[in-house]
Amino acid sequence: MSTTMPKKYIWISLLLSFAISLTIHFSLIAQTLFDDGVGRHGEILTLSHASFDFLSTFILAFLIFLLNYPLYKPFDAHYKLNFKKIATSIVLTFLLAFIFAQLFIITKHSVESQVYIHRRGEDLLFRNFFCSSIVLISILILRLIFQKQTIEVENEKLRNESLKSQFESLKNQVSPHFLFNSLTALKILVEDSPSLAKQYISHLSQVLRYTLQSNRKQLVALSEELEFTESYIFLLKMRYDTNLTIETKIDDQLKDFELPPLTIQTLVENAVKHNEISKEYPFQIKIQSTENGFLVVSNKIQEKLTQEEGNGIGLTNLSKLFRLLGNYDIQIFKIDQEFKVEVPLIKP
């Protein structure tokens, strides 16, 4: 890490030094400007006296900021602060405050011997030590603020990387299994119905294009997801014919809302994978929206005697995706032989 002092630290130090000096000498400046100019010990106060006091405190505060930068490095979130560095900072800071108090008295008497004769050395030391304490506290607060901001930025980067990884994982989970079944069905169609095979290829290419491009986006409009789902459903119906029906009923006012790509496909595939679909057991899936802005995919439970092999992370990954997007939760219900998943639609 570079030890060069950032310009923004210098500017912040100047502004804080001004604010600290103004706070310490506010009553003196106000007394000089608006009262009769007589101090509490009867001495005559002028604007030059107040200005000299203000300037000396300002310079002291600024020097303390500069002195302590290499010890605290407030803009370095990974810099380790230990007791030795803090102790060194305190010793050097108060030593500087003591030396500055002595220089102040010498300078004051050399410039104007009648100014602040009443002020004893301990009064000046107290003021300087008080100023030093405020500066050290300010540096610590600066360090905490910038560390918090840096950590938040790093967490956001990690969150985005994790989100991309989850999308990639979801995409890779879907594609191989689905592609194998699709190509098997296509082979049969090419032999039996070339014209229908052309439609199948068109829908298959749209599904594959959407699937491969899904990792480029964190969210897509519900209308876009539904358009993709229509092609996906067409491919499923070529495989299951009339044994599978999928009913879609979505409020048009919610079609601009957003959700992770492949959400509906994941839920539909999950239903198809785990349920019996045949002439004896026709299967229906419902895709609906609710008034409170949820998308619901539901089906009657018709468990297969022999379950298909799977990694079982479809719904788990989907749940993680929604949490990463903003701490959203999906709801999974299994009641009275009905399986239902509710996912929140995210307002754009």
Looking at the structure, do residues 143 and 214 belong to the same domain, yes or no?
A: no
Q: Which pLDDT does position 3 carry in this prediction?
A: 61
How many CB atoms within 10 Å of residue 203?
19
Angle at which helices 121-192 and 83-111 pack, to 10 degrees? 140
- Answer whether 268's CB lies under 8 Å from 240's CB: no
Looking at the structure, do residues 201 and 320 belong to the same domain, yes or no?
A: yes
Looking at the structure, do residues 14 and 145 belong to the same domain, yes or no?
A: yes
Q: Which pLDDT does position 311 carry in this prediction?
A: 44
Q: Is the dihedral of CA 294, 297, 300, 302 positive or negative?
A: negative
Looking at the structure, do residues 223 and 144 belong to the same domain, yes or no?
A: no
What percentage of the chain exceeds 90 in pLDDT? 34
Q: Which pLDDT does position 125 carry in this prediction?
A: 79
Is residue 134 situated within a structural domain?
yes
Looking at the structure, do residues 139 and 267 belong to the same domain, yes or no?
A: no
Distinct helix (H) and strand (E) counts, the chain:
9, 7
How many CB atoms within 10 Å of residue 285?
22
Is residue 174 situated within a structural domain?
no
Q: For residues 16-42, give the mean pLDDT.
A: 74
- C-alpha distances in angstroms, 127 versus 48, 54, 97, 307? 19, 11, 9, 80
Name the nearest CA neighbour of 284 among 231, 243, 241: 243
Write down the mean pLDDT value for the chain: 81
Rounded to whole angstroms, the Cα distance separating 104 from 116 reads 11
Looking at the structure, do residues 90 and 208 belong to the same domain, yes or no?
A: no
Confidence band of 283 (pLDDT split at 50, 70, 90): very high
What is the DSSP secondary-structure string of 12-48?
HHHHHHHHHHHHHTHHHHHHHHHS-SB-TTS-B--HH
Looking at the structure, do residues 101 and 199 belong to the same domain, yes or no?
A: no
Q: For residues 61-87, give the mean pLDDT.
A: 88
Rounded to whole angstroms, the Cα distance separating 135 from 137 reads 5
Looking at the structure, do residues 87 and 228 belong to the same domain, yes or no?
A: no
Q: Which pLDDT does position 139 carry in this prediction?
A: 92
Looking at the structure, do residues 33 and 139 belong to the same domain, yes or no?
A: yes
Is residue 161 situated within a structural domain?
no
Is residue 176 situated within a structural domain?
no
CATH number for the domain spanning 333: value is 3.30.565.10
Q: Which pLDDT does position 205 carry in this prediction?
A: 87
Is residue 173 situated within a structural domain?
no
Q: Which residues pair with 285 in a beta bridge?
A: 246, 299
Last residue of a domain, one of 154, 173, 203: 154
Is residue 159 situated within a structural domain?
no
Looking at the structure, do residues 329 and 221 belong to the same domain, yes or no?
A: yes
What is the DSSP secondary-structure string of 97-123?
HHHHHHHHHHHHHHH-TTTTTT--HHH
Q: In terms of residues, how long is the chain?
A: 348
Task: Tell me how far apart the terminal alpha carbons of the chain are, to the nearest angstrom.
Answer: 40
- Checking if the pLDDT of 290 tops 50, the result is yes
Rounded to whole angstroms, the Cα distance separating 285 from 299 reads 5
What range defines the domain where residue 76 resides? 7-154
Is residue 36 situated within a structural domain?
yes
Counted domains in the chain: 2
Is residue 125 situated within a structural domain?
yes
Q: Which pLDDT does position 340 carry in this prediction?
A: 95
| Strand (E) or helix (H) holding 140 | helix 121-192
Looking at the structure, do residues 27 and 118 belong to the same domain, yes or no?
A: yes
Looking at the structure, do residues 20 and 131 belong to the same domain, yes or no?
A: yes
